Amino acid sequence: MKKYRDIAGDGGSNIVGQVEAQQARLLARLQDVRAIVAVVSGKGGVGKSSVTANLAGAFALRGARVGVLDADLNGPTMAKMLGVRGRTLVVGAGGVEPPVSALGIRVMSMDLLLADDATPLTWDAPSQAEAHTWRGTMEANALREFLADTGWGALDVLLIDLPPGTDRLATIAGLVPGLSGTVLVTIPSDVSRLVVRKSITVAQQTGAPVLGLVENMAGMFPGPGGEALAREAGVPFLGRVPFDPALAAAADRGEPYVAVAPDAAAARALSDIATLLGDTLTRVARARS
């Protein structure tokens, strides 16, 4: 029986050619997207997805064309938070048509492909040991397919909601050469500061600009705030979002808080952060042109 080292080249599978073709499709799909922003934390439980959903909502309320890619394949939440969960995906001439939220936000998530609430994401492999070995590669391929096969259309901004883990940003940066930058989310706690500080280092190493740091759930914990962390790391501080249980309740209903309670302190903070982020993206675009 032949082993991998006995096979010349790729054994006739043309894997390299397939990946190159898919990457070419990805670039074509994203050519009309003006800005692509990865939202990162590194630490789970900081409310990164709710920040992403509300930034998308704030942009959309101002008339921007917005898309959201849920890059958390194992714990997808964006379809639920943006009110498109359960929609049927339709394949058209321009690729898979992403469901559109009530605010006009185009959403793609693994949640839209799973059969029901109890169905987890599983990888097809001869054994679970092999699935574990290849999981990182398979996840990267799945994200490449989401980006390459979705008909995003013309967008002003595409937000990518990343799962916890400092390594996930490097994967996205490798898939999206035109990444406009990253937004990092933390909460006022020593544990979050420890992990998010590492994520800032990774973000700085990708070559894409660190657009800023957001402190979420301000006032809920007595730990160090995001402004001090941003100053220490030398990155912009975009603002703090005060803790508000109603924000989570709105997410459970599939409604961005900025749309249903625009006068609430947390909603105003998220809208202000979106304004700063939009101004920063404009400056980044001008610097690249």
Q: Rounded to an integer, what is the distance from CA 248 to the centroid of its chain?
A: 18
The CA–CA distances, whole Å, from 121 to 17, 80, 116, 161, 287 equal 27, 17, 11, 17, 40
Q: How does residue 128 score in pLDDT terms, banded at 50, 70 and 90?
A: low
Q: What is the mean pLDDT of residues 100-125?
A: 82
Determine the pLDDT at residue 92.
84
Determine the pLDDT at residue 13.
55
Q: Which are the contacts of 130, defined by CB distance < 8 A and separation ≥ 6?
A: none
- When the pLDDT of each residue in the chain is averaged and rounded to a whole number, the result is 88
Q: How does residue 219 score in pLDDT terms, banded at 50, 70 and 90?
A: very high
Q: What is the mean pLDDT of residues 93-113?
A: 93
Q: Mind listing the pLDDT tens digit for each residue in 144-189?
A: 888 989 999 999 999 999 998 877 888 888 888 789 999 999 999 9
Q: What are the residue ranges spanned by the domains of the chain?
A: 32-288
Q: Mind listing the pLDDT tens digit for each residue in 9-40?
A: 555 555 666 667 777 888 888 999 999 999 99
Determine the pLDDT at residue 7.
47
Q: How does residue 119 score in pLDDT terms, banded at 50, 70 and 90?
A: confident
Q: What is the mean pLDDT of residues 257-267?
A: 98
Determine the pLDDT at residue 282.
94
* Res. 137: pLDDT tops 80: no
Does the domain made of 32-288 have the CATH classification 3.40.50.300? Answer: yes
Q: How does residue 270 score in pLDDT terms, banded at 50, 70 and 90?
A: very high
